[in-house]
């Protein structure tokens, strides 16, 4: 991270507002390399200097990357006046200014949502030209014709002038309420639901299980989130497989 004002650095890490952290600084609660610093405008280098609040050293990072296990009933937005959003689920210690969902899930769809404040990284994840795979499991409202597997592999005309890229469909259980797995490399509006509608089926449950090479942590409860490790970031973008 480059040098920046002390008050901006603290506020940018989610430590309350800039007005609040300036008050901390003026009261001597903030130290730089062990010495109280009362100038909010002081330029500091978080990579070379130790900044602490009330004696507790702070760990600074330029960007944050979170895995969220989104439950149903939550919208993939930064704010909404009527409904809870994915950002409402982020605990205070992980909140950062500029945090947003990198890719959306429908309100009733559950599973892996990536949250970050890194716009360039999000673009890499979302850019259609990168064809980053996303794996889902779904439950349908009735038996599915096995021919759908070949149709998904060729691309499905889902109406409105939209034809999907080739996708991988695996029928895990067929019967009154089939369970299937779908891997797509794009994110058209209600894409998976619309694909199955072309075969006369309604999706009654949909969960995103994996983005790129990174699966959702099975230990992460619905509504919970945590930071990604550097290794998981590489798996997410597929860089680990190229190393």
**Structure-block tokens of residue 18:** 């800039």
Q: Which residue among the candidates 80, 88, 106, 108 is catalytic per the annotation? A: 106
Q: Among this protein's residues, is 145 annotated catalytic?
A: no
- Name, in order, each residue with C-beta under 8 angstroms of 77's C-beta and a sequence gap of 6 or more: 85, 86, 87, 101, 104
Mapped onto helix, strand or coil, the DSSP state of residue 46 is coil
In 10 A of CB 13, how many CB atoms?
A: 20
CA dihedral of 8, 14, 17, 19, whole degrees rounded to 10: -40
Q: Residue 140 in contact with residue 176, Cβ under 8 Å?
A: no
Catalytic residues: 106
């Amino acid at each position: 991270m480059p040098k920046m004002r002390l008050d901006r650095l603290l506020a940018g890490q989610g430590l309350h507002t800039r007005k609040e952290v300036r008050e901390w600084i003026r009261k001597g609660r903030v130290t730089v390399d062990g010495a109280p610093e009362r100038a909010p405008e002081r330029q500091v280098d978080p990579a070379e200097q130790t900044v602490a609040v009330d004696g507790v050293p702070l760990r600074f990072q330029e960007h944050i990357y979170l895995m969220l296990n989104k439950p149903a009933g939550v919208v993939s937005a930064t704010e909404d006046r009527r409904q809870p959003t994915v950002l409402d689920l982020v605990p205070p210690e992980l909140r950062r200014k500029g945090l947003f969902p990198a890719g959306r899930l429908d309100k009733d769809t559950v599973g892996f949502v990536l949250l970050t404040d890194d716009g360039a990284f999000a673009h890499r994840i979302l850019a259609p030209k990168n064809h980053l795979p996303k794996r889902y499991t779904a439950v349908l409202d009735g038996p599915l014709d096995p021919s759908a597997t070949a149709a998904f592999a060729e691309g499905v005309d889902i109406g409105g002038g939209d034809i999907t890229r080739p996708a991988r469909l695996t029928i895990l259980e067929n019967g009154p309420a089939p369970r299937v797995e779908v891997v797509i490399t794009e994110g058209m509006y209600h894409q998976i639901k619309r694909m199955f509608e072309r075969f006369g089926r309604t999706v009654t449950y949909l969960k995103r299980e994996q983005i790129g090479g990174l699966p959702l942590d099975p230990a992460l409860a619905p509504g919970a989130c945590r930071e990604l490790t550097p290794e998981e970031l590489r798996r997410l973008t597929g860089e680990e497989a190229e190393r």
